[in-house]
Amino acid sequence: MRGCEGPLSPRGRTGVLDLCLSEEFVAALAGVGASDGIFITTSRFSTDALKYVEPSPVILIDGNRLGQLMA
């Protein structure tokens, strides 16, 4: 896994959240003995980030989905 710029929870970030952040999130879950997790952003996830978590019990919720859930 390569290093990402900045912390795992980049508040105020705009644009696309890339594969690197998905990798860090899954690694952070493993570090505390968890396999399931929910990563929520008001932005969106890259295709690579979505594919990376596909086989795992991790759920990615982007801004569009978050809006739907709140409606």
Structure tokens at 45: 């996830």
In-domain check, residue 8: no
| 54, part of any domain | yes
Q: How far apart are CA 36 and CA 3, in angstroms?
A: 22
Which class for 44: exposed (0-12), middle (13-18), buried (19 or more C-beta within 10 A)?
middle
Provide the pLDDT confidence category of residue 30 given band limits of 50, 70 and 90: very high
**Residue 30 within any structural domain of the chain:** yes
Residue 6: what pLDDT? 52
Residue 10 above 60 pLDDT?
A: no
Number of structural domains the chain divides into: 1
Band of residue 5 on the pLDDT scale cut at 50, 70, 90: low
Mean pLDDT over all residues of the chain? 85
- Could you report the per-residue pLDDT of 34-63, keeping only the tens digit for each? 989 999 999 999 999 999 999 999 999 999
Which range marks the domain in which residue 61 is found?
A: 16-70
